[in-house]
Structure 1
Amino acid sequence: MHVKTPTHIYDGLDLLSSAVIILDAESRVRYANAAAENLFEHSFKTLANQKLEDLFLNGEHLVDVFGEAVQHRFADKRLDLTLERAGREPLQVHVIVTALDNPDTPVLIELRENVKQLKLDREERLLDQSQLNKELIRNLAHEIKNPLGGIRGAAQLLEFELPERQLKELREYTQVIIKEADRLQTLVDRLLAPHRRPHIVGDVNIHEVCERVRSLIVAEFPVGLTIKRDYDLSVPEFRGDKEQLIQAVLNIAHNAAQALSSRIAEGDAQITLRTRVARQVTLAKVRYRLALDLHIIDNGPGIPSDIQDRIFYPLVSGREGGSGLGLTLAQTFVQQHMGVIECESRPGCTDFRILIPLP
């Protein structure tokens, strides 16, 4: 059985953030640095002696490039690949294959996660999803609106026509119909609200937006919840709809506060409002020199893993009794400012990130 190639030769490779594996002439792993162990989610002991073709389900092209490297057809070659693994997410990676002057270990492969491509793909999915959501919401709301009015009107007429002796007995049922019709009408109005209300543009100071949201959350949750400010006061004003942005940030912060109910009871719930300036940001395939980078972070239980990919879909909620519209509307409002909302969540930390271009 092979052992790890003498560590004194490759000690420095463990300091790299990119994954590095070194292969022998038969394409077996002879060395893997710490980043490779993290990327493959296996220790070197498990990776040792595995053949390159066994590491991925679709590694044929990489194996061909390995063969060229063994034959010294190039010094190094770079390529972007999507490498599939059994039971795991595919890896979007930038691969550098280097031919070494060592017959025992002739090839070094470096794999760097292609973060830029991953981000572009994620943003494109979010934009496509948002557009589909808008069409679905508009069509669904209009389809519901007309028959809903008829149902409510019919219930009122029925109540009016009931004989006096039956009115007390049956009025309870007609009132249920009327109240539920009103509740659905309110829901439909909320679905259509972003498309009806004009976009009122003015100068926006994001810290005024955050302070307004903070005051509203503190008023509703006065005990057990700390709202921490972490502001970069150099963030410039920008043109936008202040009320829409207040609603977007409030929807996210209010969801966070509701998710923190158990920690509020214990007195250690925390929401952080953090502002920064991001530089050289690509949003919807457009490059911006500067962008607002606003984070709403909470120390709650995290978003359930089964809905993390769908939290911006309409009517999807991780909370019993939730309407599932808050994040959908927030995403719509932010996208009307040419921005995007991203989310990373794990137990103990959920981070919603709003990016909006700055002048």
Structure 2
Amino acid sequence: MLVKTDNLHEALLDNLYGAVFLSDLDLTILYANSAAESLFQMTRSKLCTLTIFDLLEDQIGFKKTLGELVDSGTPHTRRHEKINSKITGKSSKIDCSFTPIDVGETKRLLIEMHPIDHFVRINREHALLSAHDTSKSLVRGLAHEIKNPLGELGVRHNY
């Protein structure tokens, strides 16, 4: 059954994990979802006074990439980009996708940002736990050999 509400699209966007922005070709933010508010710790109204360049650290690289993207009309993704919150001064890493879209006869840019700090931390912890388990197993085997050196060979030689 199709659910009909007046604000269905907004409700869907506001419940996504990733930050979603809509901007014009000058990269002025026209729309930001609630994940964007959380990511940058700014209200929607404050975000909509900024450009995407106000939020991203690698402005020169992004300007070049976005210029090419708008000209070609193809989507583009950048991984492990650093962003800064102007209010808190905190930085974090994101995966960022840019998709040119047509809204009527007007060209816009759909921008998605997915925070990856949490995933990087989980992967790092997993690698540390794996290394710890390997070390533990190695030490256990070494301790056994110290306690019983060549013990199995002595059993086999019955003179």
State how many pairs are aligned. Answer: 127
| Aligned positions of 1:195-344 closer than 5 A | 282-284=126-128, 337=136
Specify whether residues 57 and 82 from structure 1 end up closer, same or farther in structure 2 by C-alpha distance, changes over 3 A only: closer
User: SS at the partner of 1:88?
Assistant: coil
| Max Rg structure | 1
| Structure 2 CA distance for aligned equivalents of residues 83 and 70 of structure 1 | 22
Residue type at the aligned position of 1:33: N
> C-alpha offsets along residues 191-239 of structure 1, whole Å, 9 cap, x if unaligned?
xxxxxxxxxxxxxxxxxxxxxxxxxxxxxxxxxxxxxxxxxxxxxxxxx
What TM-score results when the alignment is normalised by the length of structure 1?
0.31
Provide the residue aligned with 2:21 in structure 1.
Answer: 21
Q: CA deviation at 1:284?
A: 3.2
8 Å Cα contact 2:56-2:82 kept in structure 1? no
Provide the residue aligned with 2:115 in structure 1.
Answer: 113
The gaps in structure 2 that reach 5 residues or longer are 1-5, 138-159
8 Å Cα contact 2:20-2:113 kept in structure 1? yes
Q: CA deviation at 1:13?
A: 1.2
What TM-score results when the alignment is normalised by the length of structure 2?
0.64
What percentage of residue pairs aligned between the two structures are identical?
20
Provide the residue aligned with 2:150 in structure 1.
Answer: none
Specify whether residues 99 and 118 from structure 1 end up closer, same or farther in structure 2 by C-alpha distance, changes over 3 A only: farther
Q: CA deviation at 1:56?
A: 2.9
Specify whether residues 21 and 105 from structure 1 end up closer, same or farther in structure 2 by C-alpha distance, changes over 3 A only: farther
Specify whether residues 284 and 72 from structure 1 end up closer, same or farther in structure 2 by C-alpha distance, changes over 3 A only: same
Q: CA deviation at 1:35?
A: 0.6
Larger RCO (CA within 8 A; separation ≥ 6):
2
| Structure 1 CA distance for aligned equivalents of residues 123 and 62 of structure 2 | 24
Specify whether residues 117 and 64 from structure 1 end up closer, same or farther in structure 2 by C-alpha distance, changes over 3 A only: farther
| Structure 2 CA distance for aligned equivalents of residues 64 and 104 of structure 1 | 22
8 Å Cα contact 2:94-2:114 kept in structure 1? yes
| Structure 1 CA distance for aligned equivalents of residues 101 and 44 of structure 2 | 21
Provide the residue aligned with 2:53 in structure 1.
Answer: 53
Provide the residue aligned with 1:83 in structure 2.
Answer: 83
| Structure 1 CA distance for aligned equivalents of residues 62 and 71 of structure 2 | 14
Residue type at the aligned position of 1:101: D
| Structure 2 CA distance for aligned equivalents of residues 337 and 116 of structure 1 | 26
The gaps in structure 1 that reach 5 residues or longer are 1-6, 124-281, 288-332, 339-359
Q: CA deviation at 1:42?
A: 0.5
Residue type at the aligned position of 2:95: H
Q: CA deviation at 1:17?
A: 1.2
Provide the residue aligned with 2:102 in structure 1.
Answer: 101
Residue type at the aligned position of 2:119: K
